[in-house]
Amino acid sequence: MRYLTKSRFKLAIDCPRKLYYVNKTEYGNLKENDEFLKSLAEGGYQVGELAKLYYPNGHNIIDNGYETPLKKTNELLKRENVIIGLAPYKSDNLFSDFKNNHISS
């Protein structure tokens, strides 16, 4: 099953045709070498690291794939008190993977 991710949704809003080309290795992505975008991403990582200092017992689910990370998220959500910094979420055919800041389809 393919999921509609946040990043793919954002691509479709910008240009629906981009959905066809996303993640196809035979087509280059000019944004991968954009220094400005890299610096913005680094700023996001800095905010995440600061949050870890404030909430050292928080959980970040960084596993790859869909089923294993979702299972871990659901297990954490069963706890009465839990701090989750990064975790994937799925609803119907929508999947959000916050560690990579994207939604897949």
Residue spans of the domains in the chain: they are: 6-104
Using 50 as the pLDDT threshold, list the residues of the chain that sit under it.
101-105
- Tell me how far apart the alpha carbons of residues 89 and 68 are, in angstroms, rounded to a whole number: 12
Residue 25 to residue 39: CA distance in whole angstroms = 24
Q: Residue 71 has what pLDDT? A: 93
Residue of 43, 39, 53, 42 lying closest to 85 (CA atoms): 53
pLDDT at 49: 83
Q: How many CA atoms lie within 13 A of 84 on its CB side?
A: 21
Report the chain's terminal Cα–Cα distance, integer Å.
8
Residue written as token pair 């960084």? 62
5, 96 in Cβ contact below 8 A?
Answer: yes
